[in-house]
Structure 1
């Protein structure tokens, strides 16, 4: 027996999966998880615990295929899941370290300013969550984030959920603010794209307002990533990394620049030796 008819109004329509994915992540469309459990248990012949695990896996597959977000294999307690949007958030948050408590925010320089100051921005490999950002000795590690048509709606609805639900930690709100700090111009987007941190399906010009407006008109008092921002700013304000980056950028950025600089140094040394030899002979 075929499960899908030839003239099925759902599956015969182009891009229907994208439309369904968009509707399923809207905060106002969320169905209580317990209702989804009961409906799913009417369809499959499994025990309650196995059915819940299978339902979670189905949500993960659907999110990966239609939102471009690979969810970690960490299951929060079943009784704590409120709805699909909450499940997605819990899976992403539960895979990163607990970290610090939220505090007042210290702004972070843009990606361009950080690179000019000697900070190396790289893609963090094999991370289970794009929220898992680290900084160590001048290297800012950021997991890859895919930017698609549904990404803005996804972030806006999870941020709204964090803002509206009591005692919900502002993890995604903090992430949005951090990216907003890093991205101010098209050049900032280019830096992150070149390092494969952002897989952008939008125009670079559209990506800038995308990040700048994710948490627009949202009041935020306490924010995560404070320790990271403090470490980055301390490194950013040091002179030697900035001078070293400027030296590499201005004099060692191409093979010809390296040869020219080396030739100039050799000539300077030879001139010094010649002068010293002339003075010594007298």
Structure 2
């Protein structure tokens, strides 16, 4: 009896262990062994809570992370309508079966792009379904935009811009391998002038690049080599690729400089540059900074680029750029100064909005990069020269307001008048001596 009871207990224990093992096995399936293969992440809570709407899709969900959110369900019917348009354009050459099969072949690579499991509701077939519908929606949206065809979404400016911004959200990305396989299947056997990356670049990213540089500067943007991770990654590559200058770096971790008005007071001259955002240089008292256009979507784009960089070990270009600009901008006077020099084109209207943008955008962002450290070190050395420090102090204390300037001139005039009277009195005494 004792042996039978022991055997029964052992069997029950083994069964419980097997149940737990099976449960763990289910949870660990699909989780990548290395974070470095991921490219689509949840934004860290500390960063997200500062401006949640900048990271949450407002109109259309792309991929599994926001798929079931109630406020995005209205667009699901539009996605299916776009899928129908996409298939109709194939004129029987390619079927839905062809596209589902193509995506199924890259599904494992696509799953690895996400940093977290996609939940119990997204088994293999459901995941492929999302990839196909969302991928075809993006390609058809780009095609309609490229052809400038009339469409309920494209012709409605408000919806159009909201979709564009949603396509830039880090949490709302589709792996580029999915877009590429759908694109390649569409043009299989045909001679196409552009690659998938160039199609997206020309159809969609022109607007986002112009957000930073302005239309006149767009032709200088260089197309990057290598396949990006997703659309946000392509935008990152396009903007970084245009920065080609080598720069002097300092061993010191310097990421901030004095504000623009203080630097001007110390004799620093500001000069706008017709180059990439990151080509900031200092030479012989002149700080050269490329022009940035500040519009309603600038903060949205920058925040998602910075969030994407948060998980990368490479140079965090947008984080260090935003930190550098945050150092330059303390008050509306700094914004107005940079506007006068053509470094900022403020389409928001109120300079205080630009101050708020840069002062808040780098909160909770870790930045230990030394990319601008050489520039900042040279600026600090120039600023600390004796005459420049005197000049800065003089301007800050006496020339910072019209009344202070008037008071200084009045005091200077009184000093000169008093000194003149003293000299005249001394001369009079000298001349009248026998």
TM over 0.5: yes
Query: Which residue in 1 is equivalent to 2:290?
Result: 143
SS at match of 2:273: coil
SS at match of 1:114: helix
Mapping for residues 243-258 of structure 1, pairs under 5 Å = 243=390
Q: CA deviation at 1:91?
A: 2.0
2:362 to 181, 202, 215: 215
Q: How many residue pairs are counted as aligned between the two chains?
A: 273
Which segment is superposed worse, 199-208 or 11-20? Answer: 11-20
1:119 to 2:268 alignment = yes
Tell me the TM-score normalised to structure 2 length: 0.53
Q: CA deviation at 1:57?
A: 2.8
Distance 2:362 2:316 in 1: 11
Query: Which residue in 1 is equivalent to 2:339?
Result: 193
SS at match of 2:221: coil
Query: Which residue in 1 is equivalent to 2:172?
Result: 29
Cα offsets for 1:86-130 (capped at 9, x unmatched): 1221222222224348862253111111111111122x2321x12
In structure 2, relative to structure 1, the CA distance for the partners of 1:77 and 1:173 (3 Å cut) is same
1:46 to 2:191 alignment = yes
1:105 to 254, 259, 266: 254
Distance 2:209 2:157 in 1: 19
Query: Which residue in 2 is equivalent to 1:180?
Result: 326
In structure 2, relative to structure 1, the CA distance for the partners of 1:103 and 1:150 (3 Å cut) is farther
Contact 2:221 2:239 in 1 (8 A): no
Mapping for residues 218-229 of structure 1, pairs under 5 Å = 218-229=365-376
Contact 2:315 2:369 in 1 (8 A): no
- Structure 1 residue runs without a partner (length 5+): 252-256
Cα offsets for 1:227-248 (capped at 9, x unmatched): 0000000001112234457789
Tell me the TM-score normalised to structure 1 length: 0.78
In structure 2, relative to structure 1, the CA distance for the partners of 1:63 and 1:4 (3 Å cut) is closer
Which segment is superposed worse, 45-54 or 232-241? Answer: 45-54
- Structure 2 residue runs without a partner (length 5+): 1-88, 90-143, 400-405
In structure 2, relative to structure 1, the CA distance for the partners of 1:29 and 1:101 (3 Å cut) is farther
Computed over aligned residues only, the root mean square deviation of the Cα atoms, in angstroms, reads: 3.8
Structure with the greater relative contact order (CA < 8 A, sep ≥ 6): 1 or 2? Answer: 1
